Homo-oligomer: A and B are copies of this chain.
Amino acid sequence: MTLALAIHGGCGTLPKAEMTEAEWAQARSDLASALRAGWAILSKGGAAVDAVEAAVRVMEDSPHFNAGHGAAFNTEGEHELDASIMDGATLAAGAICGAKRIRNPITAAKALMLRGDPLLLAGPAADDFAEHEGVDTVANEHFSTERRRKNLASMKLREIVGTAAEASEAEKHGTVGAVACDAQGHLAAATSTGGYTNKPVGRVGDSPIIGAGTYARDGRCAVSGTGKGEYFIRYCVGHEIASLIAYKGLSLKAATDAVLAELSEHKVGAGLVAVGADGSIVAPYNTEGMYRGWVTEDGLIHVATHDHVELAGQA
């Protein structure tokens, strides 16, 4: 079976001027680190579900992505974190939303999946569960970064002057995610996010919604999405791609292109990474850029933010 691992760190316009060259290089380097963490598990015969967790954890800990440390601020200047994970072998899944104190939300989601029930925990109960399970908790300020604080100030200003709709995606959105196929041919997907800058308190997007932002089923595909979450929920993006493959006989590429085309029709900025039952990888997006990366069979790491794909050494 072909091992496969792909990740994303959010899509959008990603204006080059928004960060220094050194910061862009650091973001690409963190993508490569995430891929190395996941690949280390896959290449030793580990499970896809462990690999996607490991890759997402690295991005949650990086300030460059809107998840964990580096998460967006909500309208009250706090961080509310959402995450989910799904094991395509068993359809087991775990998800949390509105967490405020879990350092790595994806690890809490996985712990919930392993416990088996409930599947989705919201709000303080998610934080309490993490604490009870020995998953690292931190103060909410742990997730704060200077860049996101500026994003919040900018969005508040745009709100006042009425230009919120014109804000760049980088100011607003962002999500991280990973998909994998392991040596046993099992698929898995994981997604984690801080939502979007200036989001209403209590807003839950697609990242913790199984079938929308995250979906995996052996023999079909694993998908992790990024973009305007409300549309990912309405279009059941993850499960829609799996259905087009299973019931309409589309290839992974044709299925993901079809769904992206439908979202584009509605002017929804969107991107995703997906892996097929055969270990094939796609990473399409309809925005100017998407933080992304994957490892090819030969163990070579590829990372990209815009069109140009960079080789980042051996995994």
Contact = CB atoms under 8 A, between A and B. Distances in A.
B211 A118 contact: no
Given A118-B200, A240-B243, A244-B247, 11 more contacts: A93-B233, A117-B230, A118-B203, A118-B205, A119-B230, A120-B203, A121-B202, A236-B236, A239-B239, A243-B247, A247-B248
Interface in A217-271: 229-230, 233-236, 239-240, 243-244, 246-248
Nearest to A96: B202
Interface residues of A, number: 43
Interface in A76-125: 86, 91-93, 97-98, 117-125
A210 interface: yes
B210 A118 contact: no
A201 B243 contact: no
B209 A118 contact: no
Given A243-B243, A247-B248, A202 B93 contact: no
A119 B215 CA distance: 19
> Taking each of A212, A230, A233, which has the highest tally of chain B beta carbons within 10 Å of its own beta carbon?
A233
> Taking each of A126, A200, A235, A236, which has the highest tally of chain B beta carbons within 10 Å of its own beta carbon?
A236
8 contacts: A117-B230, A118-B205, A119-B233, A120-B233, A121-B200, A122-B122, A123-B123, A239-B240
A186 interface: no
Copies in the complex: 2
B239 A211 contact: yes
In the complex, the 8 A-B pairs of residues with the closest C-beta atoms, listed nearest first: A125-B202, A243-B243, A247-B247, A211-B236, A118-B203, A247-B248, A236-B239, A120-B204
B240 A123 contact: no
Interface string A47-62: 0000000000000000
A132 to B, nearest CB: 11
Contacts of A69: none
Contact of A118 (B128, B230, B240, B247): B230
A123 B239 CA distance: 26
A126 B202 contact: yes
A199 interface: yes
A244 to B, nearest CB: 6
> Taking each of A202, A240, A247, A248, which has the highest tally of chain B beta carbons within 10 Å of its own beta carbon?
A202
A201 B118 CA distance: 10
Interface string A280-303: 000000000000000000000000
A205 B233 CA distance: 16
Contacts of A236: 210-211, 215, 236, 239
B123 A98 contact: yes
